[in-house]
Amino acid sequence: MRAAPALDLVDGREVRVPIGAAFDVVVVGSGPAGAAAARVIARQGLSVAVVEEGRRFVPAEFPPDGFSAMSEVYRGLGSTLCLGRAPMPYLQGCAVGGTSVVNGAISWRLPRDVYDEWVAADPEIGAAIPWSEIEAELDVVERDLGIHPTPEAISGANNLLLARGAEALGIAHRPIHRNVKGCRGLGRCLQGCPEGNKQSMDFSYLPEACAAGARIFASAEARAVTVERGRAVSVEGRSAAGARVRLRARHAVVLAASAVQTPILLARSGLGGAATGLGFQCHPGVSMAGRFREEVRLWTGATQGHEVTGLRREGIKIEALGYDATIVATRHKETGAALGSALADLAHWANWGAAIRARARGRVRRGIGGPWISYGLGPADMKIVRRSVRILGELMLAAGAEYVTPGVYGWHEKVTDPSMMGRFEEQGPLDPRAYSLVATHLFGSCRMGSDPRTSVVRPDFRHHRVEGLYVADSSVFPSNTGVNPQTTILALAAICGRRVTKR
């Protein structure tokens, strides 16, 4: 087990009296965006405070089962929802290091065609952030986090079976590139690596930011950004122990709290303009399980170690999904002795999922008890969802599954014939309520753009109306990307950090 790196950290669980301090820059959020911005800014010699609502976890503290992890390391007990015709849960980490602590470590470069879409819609984005600068920063991220393909030796059967199915169908596929170091394929990424082998922000960028002089205020919720004479001057918050926290920003405030929390913080600060919270996008996901004769034990091996890449331009990205056994068990609806038999058979099941590059847009706004996200998929998006289910089933059967369980209301519970999955694309339901959808990778609720009527920040990450206020997270993305965004978030947030230090 790797020892947890040293961090200059104030633990808000122990802060019971008001505290105040002044820094050049205050960063809200310690996930990939906040950590990348803080690292760049601190290395330029500015003093930096990072405010994080969650607490710090060391590897020995990560729970072994999925449900305990959701209650301890995830926001809202893992039960946060996008509301619409078919409510979709979304998951966010709440810890020092943000969601990077509990994600699958999947690392994708921003596709050039996605960037070209952004620039075609708003050429000023291309002028402010040239592709060459993004490419150079992506190279830095890959080098610094040791991103590399998942070795076959630690892949596990769940990943290797996906490779077998894709090869049989002639669809392009590859081992997933991940930000890990010394991974042994323990299958614990989504609970937090118990050995510290994932290059999450608490093991990589945040220690480097602290080494350059940054200080982290953990277990401290940012409640508002204070503006004086048109300029952001401080962040007001409260420690987990109930004390007021006030951090003055001599130079700038950088919001990196996520595509959900950043627009909420702006609205709570009285900075919620007409575009704030609008344009929310995500990657809706659908999954499928298949029963194999051989043991799969999908809770072992790399949590997510193989992917299908050949359908990306169709808006479909398929990945192997590894889960803790307690999560896998919830897919079974039997009771009594039948449930006991199903649980005894868990080791023979594989689970794969498809992330959809949906075109639908929603809205994030303040609601009773927390954020409200309204989001619904239209017919065109649902056709892609339906096609994804077909392909998932065909892949599993091609890989040797005895049968698959599509999990679609009104469709066959067990399918053994690939031709039946082929018919699903035409005959399957288009009502989103028939599917068990999950929202992953959140974007676009504080979009960048040249028009303040339709965007929240300028193409250089500066807020349109407030000086000294920047947004660095995926809420500024003009659209979803169709691929896992962590690497792109890191690169763009680092570029944001450089824009902060130039002013």
Helix (H, G, I), strand (E, B) or coil at 11: strand
Q: Cβ atoms within 10 A of the Cβ of 157, count?
A: 20
What angle, rounded to 10 degrees, do the helices at 486-501 and 32-43 form? Answer: 30
Strand 81-83, strand 370-374: pairing? parallel
Beta strand residue intervals within 176-291, DSSP E: 177-178, 215-218, 220-228, 231-239, 244-255, 278-291
Q: CB of 248 within 8 A of CB of 22?
A: yes
Question: Quick one: CA torsion of 487, 493, 499, 500, rounded to 10 degrees?
Answer: -150
Long-range contacts, stretch 328-337, CB < 8 angstroms, 24+ apart: 328/298, 328/299, 331/289, 331/405, 331/407
Q: CB of 7 within 8 A of CB of 201?
A: no
Cα–Cα–Cα angle for 251, 254, 260, nearest 5°? 160
Task: Please list the active-site residues.
Answer: 441
Distances (CA, A) of 63 to 59, 101, 186, 439: 9, 13, 13, 24
Reading the block at residue 357, the tokens are 């590059």
Can you tell me the distance from the alpha carbon of 70 to that of 82, in angstroms, rounded to the nearest whole number?
Answer: 17
374: exposed, middle or buried (Cβ count in 10 Å: 0-12, 13-18, 19+): middle
Task: Determine the residue type at 408.
Answer: V
Q: CB of 476 within 8 A of CB of 118?
A: no
- The half-sphere exposure of 480 on its side-chain side, counting CA atoms within 13 A, is 26
Q: Cβ atoms within 10 A of the Cβ of 136, count?
A: 12
Which residues touch 335 (CB under 8 Å, ≥6 apart)? none
Reading the block at residue 317, the tokens are 């990205």
Strand partners, 500: none
What angle, rounded to 10 degrees, do the helices at 112-121 and 131-144 form? Answer: 140
First to last CA, the chain: 42
Cα–Cα–Cα angle for 33, 38, 39, nearest 5°? 105
